[in-house]
Chains A and B, each alone.
Chain A
Amino acid sequence: MVEEGRAIFLQIAQSVEDAILDGSLAEEAQAPSTNELAAFHRINPATAAKGINLLVDKGVLQKRRGIGMFVATGAREALLTERRTGFADRFLDPLLAEARAIGLSPADVADLIHQRTTSTPDPRSTP
C-alpha cells in the first residue's frame, strides 16, 4: 500500500487528495483521523499527522477544534487545477521520452491516443 523511496507523509496526503478528487471524500465531510490513517496504512501516527498537516497548510483540510478534520469547500476544484498543471510533467514527459527511445514521433503518439480513446470508451461516459 505504501511504496518505498517516497516520503510516506506525501503518500498519505496524496491518498486523501485522491479520495477528494474521485468524490469518495466529499467537500465538508469529515476526513479520516490521524490514528485511523495510521492503523489503516500501518504507519507511525506522527507520519500520518505530518501528511494531514500538509493538507491543512495547503487549505485542503480544515481543523475544527475538538471535532476533527474536514474537507474544505472548493478543495476539489483547487486539487483539479493543481493536478492538471502537473499533468504534462508527470505523465507526458516520460511518455514522450519512451516514444523517442522507440522511434515514435509526437504525431504517432497523438494518433495512438486517438485510436485508444475511440476503441476503449471512457467508463464514465457510458450509460
Chain B
Amino acid sequence: MTAVIEVDHLTKRYRETLALDDVTVTFAENAITGLLGRNGAGKTTLMSIITAQNFATQGTVRAFGAEPYENAAVLSRMCFVRESQQYQDESKPHHAFAAARMFFANWDQQLAESLVEEFRLPMNRTIKKLSRGQLSAVGVIIGIASRAEITFFDEPYLGLDAVARQVFYDRLLADYASHPRTIVLSSHLIDEIAHLIENVVVIDDGRIIVDTDAESLRGEATTIVGERSAVETFTLGRRVIHTDALGNTMAATVLGQLTEADRHALTQAGLDTEPVSLQQLVVRMTQHAHQTSPMNGASR
C-alpha cells in the first residue's frame, strides 16, 4: 500500500478539550477508506487539519508527500465536502459548481450535470432556499464531479432520503471504478457504506482504535449464543467485547477469527454463532473503548 496522506503524532487541543490525541495514521492511495466514530470523536477535526482548514497543536500532516498548509499545489488536488458547507447567501447551485470547476483541474461538467438531474436539484433556486437534502446534494455533486485525487466526504448524506443516498453510493462507486482515487468517507450509517469501503479507520475520543482493511475486520467478531455456562466455558480466555443475557441464555461477542476447531467445539457444545456486522462491531468497540486495546491489522 502506498500512503497518500501521512498523519504523524497529530494533536489538536481546543482550550480544555483534547480533540485529537497523538494521532498517527496513513490513508492508502486510490482506496476508499471509511472514517468512523461517534460524534465529537475527532473525525471532522482530523479531515479539516489534513485539508489545511484548521491548525494542528502538535504533529505533522503530509499529503502527496508535502505539507498542505498554504500549499496550493497540494490543496488543489484535495476536495473536502463538509457536512455544514457554507455558501454565499445569494448564490445558486450553478455558482457553486462554476467555482468548483475553476478550482479542480479534473472537474467533469457532464458528470456534474447528470448528477444534478439524478438528484433533481433545482438549479434556479438560491442555495439558502434549498432543503437540507438539496444542500447535501450540492456538496455530493461537487465531491464526485471534482474527481480530486483525494476527496473527503464528511457525513455528506444529511437530509438525503434513502433513494438519494443510494444514488450517491452507486454513482460514487461507479465513478471510482472508472477513475480510481483516494476517498475518505466519514459516516454514521456504517451498514450502508460497509461494502463500499476497502479500509476502516475508527477514531474514538481523539484516538485511533482501529486501522485495518475492511475484509479482515469482517468475521473478526462473532456473537456466541447459548446456555450460559457453555458460553462462559467457550469464551474463557477470549476477548469478550459485549455480553447480553436473557434468563439462562447468554450472548457474548468475542474478537478473533474462529478456527475450524472452534467451530467444531461450538457445534459439540450446542452453541450457535451469529455474524457481527461492521456497524455492530464499531458500536461495541466505541461503547467499550476504554477497556479495549487498539486493534491494528497486521496487513497494513
What is A's interface to B at a CB cutoff of 8 Å?
Answer: 2-9, 35, 38-39, 41-47, 50, 93-94, 97, 101
| B276 CB contacts on chain A under 8 angstroms | 4-5
| A9 CB contacts on chain B under 8 angstroms | 215
- Please provide the chain B residues from 1 to 48 with a CB less than 8 Å away from any CB of chain A in the complex: 31-32
Pairwise interchain contact A42-B195, C-beta atoms closer than 8 A: yes
B262 within 8 A of A: no
The residue of chain A having its C-beta at the shortest distance from the C-beta of B268 within the complex is: A97
B218 CB contact (under 8 Å) in A7, A35, A41, A42: A7
| B278 CB contacts on chain A under 8 angstroms | 4
Instruction: Give 12 A-B contacts (CB < 8 Å), ordered by A residue.
Output: A3-B275, A5-B218, A5-B275, A6-B218, A7-B215, A7-B219, A38-B177, A39-B177, A42-B173, A47-B195, A47-B214, A93-B267
- Please provide the chain B residues from 251 to 300 with a CB less than 8 Å away from any CB of chain A in the complex: 264, 267-268, 270, 274-278
Query: B274 → chain A, closest Cβ, in Å?
Result: 8
The CA of A113 and the CA of B264, in the complex, are separated in Å by 24
| B108 CB contacts on chain A under 8 angstroms | none
Main SS at interface, chain A: helix
| A4 CB contacts on chain B under 8 angstroms | 218, 275-278
A50 CB contact (under 8 Å) in B197, B215, B268: B215
Please classify how large the interface on chain B is, using the bins under 10, 10 to 19, 20 to 34, 35 or more.
Answer: 20 to 34
| A45 CB contacts on chain B under 8 angstroms | 173, 176-177, 180
B198 CB contact (under 8 Å) in A5, A6, A44: A44
Given contacts A42-B170, A44-B173, contact A5 B32 (CB under 8 A): no
A6 CB contact (under 8 Å) in B178, B214, B267, B275: B275
Pairwise interchain contact B195-A8, C-beta atoms closer than 8 A: yes
The CA of A50 and the CA of B218, in the complex, are separated in Å by 14
The residue of chain A having its C-beta at the shortest distance from the C-beta of B176 within the complex is: A45
The CA of A77 and the CA of B262, in the complex, are separated in Å by 31
Pairwise interchain contact B215-A41, C-beta atoms closer than 8 A: no
A47 CB contact (under 8 Å) in B169, B180, B215: B215
